[in-house]
Amino acid sequence: MDQIAGAGTAGRSGRAHAIALPNILTYGRIAAVPALVAVLYFVPGNTGREVAFGLFAAASITDWLDGYLARIWAQQSELGRMLDPIADKLLVGAVLMMLVYDRTLDGPAIFAAIIILTREILVSGLREFLAELNVKVRVSELAKWKTAFQMVALAILILGPAIEPRLPHVVLAGVILLWISALLTIWTGYDYLKAAIVRAIEDRGP
């Protein structure tokens, strides 16, 4: 009977976490990805840019807000920990691909997008590998700065072409910030790679 009650309690707890506000915000960030892509693809001109910027800004705010609320309300869950980085990578990856598609990112700037996407895929694999070995790599302050630069750069690049006539060189500023983010993303990705290599060597033994 205790086992059945325990299972029921765990099930109710899981359902409660699934519909908790922090996780709902994460669901919304995931849902914003196809909406943002559709706007950039189907809505021409400045209107599409402005709407896409609004969607991206809202999604970026939820990225901070869901984690903050989960901590202060003690609603952190395995579901949230799994979905949060997935939502971030979907959002960043989709925006980068659309910016390359519409040639906001062109020439050498495309390599900054490739660096960021490659690092995100690599880190996802390393996180899964390290999680299986019960190795945790803490998010550094530098990684938080990387995320901040990345989100600001993408927001500028989404809206930039619409306001470039009024604010010259704004797209260039976005590209520079994206390159800074790309360099930081290599640096911070090294933490995961180093932890994986060290653990692999330890498991291999002498």
Q: pLDDT grade, residue 188 (50/70/90)? A: confident
Residues 201 and 132 in one domain: yes
**CA distances to 86, 100, 110 from 122, in Å:** 13, 21, 18
pLDDT digits (tens, 9 = 90+) for 47-101: 999 999 999 999 999 888 877 777 787 777 777 677 888 888 999 999 999 999 9
- Residue ending a domain, among 49, 84, 119, is 84
What is the C-alpha to C-alpha distance for residues 130 and 17, in angstroms, rounded to an integer? 25
Residue 67 confidence (pLDDT): 75
Pairwise pLDDT comparison (82 vs 112), residue with the higher score = 112
Residues 122 and 202 in one domain: yes
Helix (H) or strand (E) holding 152: helix 141-163
Residues 76 and 115 in one domain: no
- Residue ending a domain, among 35, 55, 84, is 84
Residues 115 and 183 in one domain: yes
Q: pLDDT grade, residue 201 (50/70/90)? A: low
Among candidate residues 119, 69, 75, the one with its CA nearest the CA of residue 93: 119
Residues 39 and 114 in one domain: no
> Does residue 96 belong to any structural domain of this protein?
no
Residues 60 and 111 in one domain: no
Is 50 exceeded by the pLDDT of residue 103?
yes
Residues 76 and 13 in one domain: yes
Which residue range(s) make up the domain with 157?
103-206
> Does residue 94 belong to any structural domain of this protein?
no
Residues 59 and 133 in one domain: no
- Residue ending a domain, among 84, 113, 140, is 84
> Does residue 118 belong to any structural domain of this protein?
yes
Residue 37 confidence (pLDDT): 97
Is 70 exceeded by the pLDDT of residue 206?
no
Is 90 exceeded by the pLDDT of residue 108?
yes
Percent of the chain at pLDDT > 70 equals: 82
Is 60 exceeded by the pLDDT of residue 45?
yes
Best-predicted range by mean pLDDT among 1-5, 26-30, 66-70?
26-30
Residues 116 and 206 in one domain: yes
What is the C-alpha to C-alpha distance for residues 46 and 73, in angstroms, rounded to an integer? 40
Residues 20 and 109 in one domain: no
Residue 3 confidence (pLDDT): 43
Count of domains forming the chain: 2
